[in-house]
Amino acid sequence: MKTMKFLTATAILFGAVFMSPALAQEPVVLKFASAFPPGSKTNSVSVPAFIKAVEEASEGTLKIEHYPGGTLGASPATQLKLVEDGVVDIAEVVASYTPGRFAELEMFELPFVFETTREASLTAWKLYEKGLLTGFDNLELVGIAEVGPYYLHSKETVEQASDIGGQKLRAGGPLQGAVIQAMGGVAVGGMPATQIAENISRSVVSGTLMDLGNLYNFRIADAATHHVINVPLGNVTVMFPISKKKYESLPEKAKAAFDKYRGAWFSTLLAENLDKQNDETLERLKAEPKHKLVEFSEADVAGLKEKFGSLKDNWDADKGGVNLYQEMLTARDAVRAGE
């Protein structure tokens, strides 16, 4: 009997010794940061849904903490550096705030190419999967949203293309600056999205290029009342990177859960919710009498298309056996076809 009790006690002791590390193991914690408002569609709907899906699939091996509203870094322009410095693990990064780093993504800002955020986002993901996007040497892409299309919003009366002439308009990057100049406007750079409304109110600029969905998130609708809604002026890349080092350090089960929902799944979720936000904002603008929704004439639209024609030349050329512009159109058409 004593022998049996000894063996039983020994078995329990050995079981506790071998099981305790597994039982005591804490989940890996990732910090997910955004400088943008907590109430945005991305921060209030898409990111929480992504986090919930990944955490459940990880079976307790991974926890993702969400920090929207700039709580871990207020400037949208520094989010990429926060990831690369290890201050945060994932961040909402506007690619155009790092000019030249993600050169191919700039071509998504070309006017009249994409109709929705969804088709532009999935096109960008296809190019990433094919290895056609540079600037990601030390990064893995968690998701990408090609936000847009962008449109012109101004506090000045804009009823035809010629009304843009001489207006100072905020440009979010070099290509947006070129688009504004092609329309006859004066491009003003170096202005984060969070400062646009104030600068319109102070007449530093008269307007901006912006997607519909963010007009209220950034309070632009408080300052700009004329909105040209039939001239799509390109999509802007908002991406969600993680460092390769951090990604590769994830435990196997955590990485499997992460991989299941990053990429096309997360990009689709982001994009579809942003498109819903665009639709909701359009209806809200229609319901508020102070806002004037403008559609340029067919002649004005055709004239602008002609002025924008040469903007694609940097990418619409054979470089190393690849024509990036044509690759983008091919990927876009595949997305439109449901492929």
Does residue 262 register a pLDDT over 50?
yes
Note the pLDDT of residue 19: 44
Residue whose C-alpha is closest to residue 137's, from 252, 260, 245:
245
Give, to the nearest 10 degrees, the angle between helix 174-182 and helix 298-308: 130
Mean pLDDT value of segment 266-290 = 97
CB distance 146 to 117 below 8 Å:
yes
Note the pLDDT of residue 23: 47
Pick the range with the lowest mean pLDDT from 22-31, 69-78, 189-198, 312-321.
22-31
Residues in the chain: 339
Note the pLDDT of residue 14: 45
Mean pLDDT value of segment 276-292 = 97
Q: What is the tens place of the pLDDT at every residue in 163-183?
A: 999 999 999 989 999 999 999
Mean pLDDT value of segment 283-288 = 98
Q: How far apart are the first and last CA of the chain?
A: 70
Residue carrying structure tokens 């091996």? 61
CB distance 88 to 34 below 8 Å:
no
CB distance 110 to 332 below 8 Å:
no
Question: How far is residue 312's CA from residue 305's CA, in Å, rounded to a whole number?
Answer: 12
Residue whose C-alpha is closest to residue 30's, from 73, 62, 52:
62
- In this structure, what token pair is assigned to residue 335? 């997305």
Q: pLDDT-based confidence at 18, cuts 50/70/90?
A: very low
Mean pLDDT value of segment 105-119 = 98
Note the pLDDT of residue 140: 98
Note the pLDDT of residue 180: 98
pTM, to two decimals: 0.90
Q: pLDDT-based confidence at 7, cuts 50/70/90?
A: very low
Pick the range with the lowest mean pLDDT from 21-25, 161-165, 217-221, 274-278.
21-25
Does residue 16 register a pLDDT over 90?
no
- In this structure, what token pair is assigned to residue 179? 């688009």
By DSSP bridging, strand 62-67 and strand 90-91 are: unpaired
Q: pLDDT-based confidence at 15, cuts 50/70/90?
A: very low
The DSSP secondary structure of 179-223, one letter per residue, reads HHHHTT-EEE-S--GGGHHHHHHTTS-SEEEEEGGGTTTTTGGGT
**Between 8 and 249, residue with greater pLDDT:** 249
Q: What is the tens place of the pLDDT at every residue in 217-226?
A: 999 999 999 9
Note the pLDDT of residue 99: 87
Burial label, 21 (beta-carbon count in 10 A; 0-12, 13-18, 19+)? exposed
Note the pLDDT of residue 20: 43
Note the pLDDT of residue 97: 87
Does residue 204 register a pLDDT over 60?
yes
Mean pLDDT value of segment 68-75 = 95
Q: Is 160 helix (H, G, I), strand (E, B) or coil?
A: coil
CB distance 161 to 300 below 8 Å:
yes
Note the pLDDT of residue 22: 43
CB distance 285 to 291 below 8 Å:
yes
CB distance 94 to 75 below 8 Å:
no
Q: What is the tens place of the pLDDT at every residue in 50-65?
A: 999 999 999 999 999 9
Does residue 310 register a pLDDT over 60?
yes
By DSSP bridging, strand 150-154 and strand 226-228 are: antiparallel
Note the pLDDT of residue 218: 93
What is the 3-state secondary structure of 294-330? ECCCHHHHHHHHHHHHHHHCCCCCCECCECHHHHHHH
Residue whose C-alpha is closest to residue 46's, from 276, 336, 332, 242:
276
Question: What value does the mean pLDDT of the chain take?
Answer: 93
